[in-house]
Amino acid sequence: MNEEISRVCSYCAEPVKNAAKICPHCRQWLSVFSLRNPIVVSTFLIFFILIFAVALICSIQRLFDPGIDFSPYRNDISIVESRMNFSNDEKDPMLYLVVLVTNKTDVAWRSIQFDARFFDKSGTLIDTCDYPVSSLVIPPHAESALRIKTHPTHPLLDYESFKISVRSARDAKARLY
């Protein structure tokens, strides 16, 4: 039996078997680096809680950050080129606008909302289209193209001209939509 007892507990100085993880006398862990040691488990737990808390604080801060206000930059996002096309299907006529948008700012914009107005031959407003594009992100000093699709409310022959503008946009780094 003396062969099994090969070490002494460093906490209570009692003899302990070599295979023991916990001292049977004082109930202290004998191996500091054991994954079952409560000190090691609590250290890992506190470490992961701190990482989670920092990540949560950063997420909450980004969630409630409204980002940069678009109104001073309204004229810096402009339509470079646009074209109107028709789909002359009898059952479901469609009106398409192909638009090239440029961003002259230092800010990336997303959730861009376009406002299209359609006019007849006499210049009278006959139709409008409010078109939000949430998937489009225009990087700083770049151009992006998109296609706006809408159902016309008048016969296609009445659509002579159009005017399209950017109504609003959100900072691409902001999280609040």
Could you report the per-residue pLDDT of 90-124, keeping only the tens digit for each? 788 899 999 999 999 998 998 889 999 999 999 99
List CB contacts of 167: < 8 A, sequence separation 6 or more. 113, 114, 115, 130
List CB contacts of 70: < 8 A, sequence separation 6 or more. 109, 168, 169, 170, 171
Burial of 9 (0-12, 13-18, 19+ CB in 10 A): middle
Give the model's pLDDT for residue 177: 45
Query: How far is residue 115's CA from residue 131's CA, in Å, rounded to a whole number?
Result: 6
Q: Does the predicted TM-score (pTM) go above 0.75?
A: no
**What are the CA-CA distances from residue 9 to residues 23, 87, 128 (Å)?**
7, 87, 85
Average pLDDT over residues 150-166: 90
Instruction: Categorize the per-residue pLDDT at 4 as very low, low, confident or very high, splitting at 50, 70 and 90.
Output: low
List CB contacts of 153: < 8 A, sequence separation 6 or more. 126, 127
Q: Across the beta sheet with 77-87, what order do the strands follow?
A: 77-87, 94-103, 142-150
CB neighbours (10 Å) of residue 171? Answer: 19
Domains, in order of start, for the chain: 5-63 (no CATH), 72-171 (2.60.40.10)
